[in-house]
A and B are shown apart, each in its own frame.
Chain A
Amino acid sequence: MSRRTALCAAAAFLVVAVLVAAFVGAADLNPLATAAALIDKAAPFLHLPTSLDPLDKAVLFQIRLPRVVLGALVGALLALAGAGYQGVFRNPLVDSGMLGASAGAGLGATLAIVYLGGAGPQVVPVAAFVGSLAGVAVAYATGAAASRHTVLSDGVATLLLAGIAVGSFLTAVQTFVLQRSASDIQAVYSWLLGSLSAASWQQVTTILPYAAVSSAILLLHGRHLDVLAVGDEEARALGLRPGLTRAIVVAASALAAASAVAVSGLIGFVGIVIPHIARRLAGPAYTGVLPLSLLIGAGFLVLADTLARTVLSPAELPIGVVTAFVGAPAFVWVLRGTRHVGT
């Protein structure tokens, strides 16, 4: 598939996913009335009448739509961060939670829940965001310091290993804190499982600036990642500064993942699966993988969340269950047809 076709297909997939998500839900809103209400909102000058009563309208515009939009944002950010990390580490196994990002977010959220519980619900996302960024910063600094004395051939492996060490350490601290406060276990695990259940426009507007900045930086670094793919020495010969590029892409990926995690908790599988699907569609070049990951990730998470909130309607499933249940078989399918998995 040519890159242009793939991009068009991915965009169409996202549009379809959003439309499906906007029309289904536990509230069982009349589809025609919903369509009329949506068109009326988009083009108020048409004065289109809708049979939705005020409560139904509130459900559509205050509960369902922000959830769809937030799902798209989170999916796009996780997939983009995953693609960024995979490119910078030249390793197909890394995902958006790498380098202590997930572990740091988990520790931040746990500390906020256990020690700042009374301070209100808005504290947890901030703590998760800060924790995620701090986790990456510590892992990166540790890895960079270690790589000066490393026996490993390149700094990338050292960074990844430092990330694993820092992640394990942060998770140990998180578990220790949690074990000392049994009453908070339910709240912490609910957060760790990830959820978009309480999505609001406020959450959308809160993460939008971070999402825009990190996405823009990542999308602009596609070419750099492609050059980096041939190796540090060769990249340097081509006039690139590998260390600087790595730092910028890691920072942008960390920012993207942290913004997503802050509003949704730890949603697994998106950050690792989606870049591979993008690669399968349009080849390994990051100039294509990055924008495709953004679009497919957004559409995928919107659909996954739609399943999460409709399969057992009016009950819900944790979204992590759906992303893994749908994502794991999709991953296997992608792997079977992928010849060059690396980069």
Chain B
Amino acid sequence: MNTPLRLAAFAAAAAACATALAACGASASSTTPASTTTPASRTTSSAGSQAGAASATAAFPVTVKAGNGEVTLKSYPTRIVSLSATATEDLYAVGAGSQVVAVDQQSDYPAGVPKTSLSGLTPNIEAIAKYNPSLVIASQDSGGLVAGMTKLGIPVLIEPAVATIAAAYAQIEQVGQATGHAAKAVTVATGMQRQIAANVKQAGASHQGLTYYWELSANPFYSAASSTFIGQVVGLFGLKNIADKASKPSDGGYPQVSQEYIVTARPQIIFLADNQAADGGQSPAIVAKRPGWSGIPAVQHDEVIGLNDDIASRWGPRLPELVGEIAQAVEQASK
């Protein structure tokens, strides 16, 4: 997947179209003219096929399949507005930073991003339009964002929270394609992959004997089960997640866990992703002082890890840093 060829991508696009046609026979006739009117555009899927290599502007028009369906960018986007902290990190990582004109109030990395009071949660269409963007990227379509921007003829990419690590790479590559940096995006993704693989290799991938508790908030206690993105990241090391027993299909992998259970499950590692929590940040020192928690192995053996909340809650290019922190904890705990 890291040797992109025009032809291969075109073939993939054709195959994707064929599959789509076969899948929905009834609408086949209406789909065909649509796909033939844009012969120059290359359809790529969020699964991660990509094209590029040519100069950034020559790659356009380009069509990508984002969270809000197929989005076509007619030309190289020179003015990008990002309403998602992860997307902002993606944009700068793939080399589209100079095209970014405004980012939302949550975007704080890398340093020097053009932070504004724009909100991705309650987007104000007029306020966004004021920046005269040629592309808007957000993680969710709230407040009629896509409909509003479409009326103004401004393409929107919805890049939602991912469920798998592969999807995180694919998203970075898609951001690269949509902004004219496809090749750099592939390099970034493969670099991340290599770094994560090295971390896993060093710390070991089969720590089935080690249990962990991932804390998202402390009052009430919310955790992430193995089925979540974060659960899969920790799962790279083979660790056992104590939240799995509490998770039901209806909670989307984020159960509210009983404090009694956390303590009696005796986790060997505790990851805190709520160190800057809005209702009062946690820390290994605070956790050690929680009534009844002193008997937990993780507390006794100093295996309570205060993570960087931002890195732990995003799915962007800093994922290897998170994996590195986890790897360190795993190595320490398995000694």
Contacts and interface: CB of A to CB of B under 8 A. Distances in A.
A318 interface: yes
Contact of B248 (A179, A183, A184, A315): A315
Contacts of B221: 197-198, 316
Interface string B271-304: 0000011111100000000011111100000000
Interface stretch (B53-61, B174-182, B195-203, B212-220): B212-220
Q: Name which of A54, A63, A188 has the most chain B CB atoms within 10 A of its CB.
A: A63
A122 B119 contact: no
A138 interface: no
Interface of B: 105-106, 119-122, 217-221, 245-248, 251, 255-261, 263-266, 276-281, 291-296
A316 B122 contact: no
Nearest to A313: B258
15 contacts: A26-B261, A26-B264, A27-B261, A55-B263, A55-B264, A55-B296, A59-B260, A62-B291, A182-B120, A187-B217, A195-B220, A198-B220, A202-B291, A314-B257, A315-B246
Interface in A281-321: 309, 312-318
Nearest to A312: B248
Nearest to A58: B292
A332 to B, nearest CB: 27
A190 B106 contact: no
Given A195-B220, A315-B248, A187 B259 contact: no
A114 B281 CA distance: 12
Given A26-B258, A121-B280, A182-B122, 10 more contacts: A26-B264, A28-B264, A58-B295, A62-B291, A117-B280, A122-B280, A182-B119, A190-B219, A195-B220, A197-B259
Contacts of B263: 27, 55, 58-59, 63
Interface residues of A, number: 48
A152 interface: no
A113 interface: yes
A58 B259 CA distance: 12
A56 B247 contact: no
A170 interface: no
Nearest to B255: A315
Nearest to A179: B122
Contacts of B122: 179, 182
A26 B278 contact: no
Interface in A166-196: 179, 182-188, 190-191, 195
Contact of B219 (A114, A188, A197): A197
B229 to A, nearest CB: 17
A335 B311 CA distance: 53
Nearest to B280: A121
A31 to B, nearest CB: 15
Contacts of B277: 117, 187
B291 A190 contact: no
A26 B260 contact: yes
Contacts of A59: 260, 263-264, 292
A66 interface: yes
Contacts of B251: 315
B258 A183 contact: no
Contacts of A90: none
A63 B217 contact: no
A63 B292 contact: yes
B279 A124 contact: yes
B261 A187 contact: no
B171 to A, nearest CB: 21
Contacts of B105: 182
A119 interface: yes
A325 to B, nearest CB: 15
Contacts of A309: 258, 260
A123 B294 contact: no
Q: Which 10 A-B pairs have the closest CB atoms?
A: A121-B280, A62-B292, A314-B261, A26-B258, A26-B261, A197-B220, A55-B295, A187-B278, A62-B291, A315-B246
B294 A313 contact: no
A183 B106 contact: yes
Q: Name which of B119, B221, B280, B296 has the most chain A CB atoms within 10 A of its CB.
A: B280
Contact of A314 (B119, B246, B266, B294): B246
Contacts of A329: none
Contacts of A120: 280-281
B317 to A, nearest CB: 20
A197 B256 contact: yes
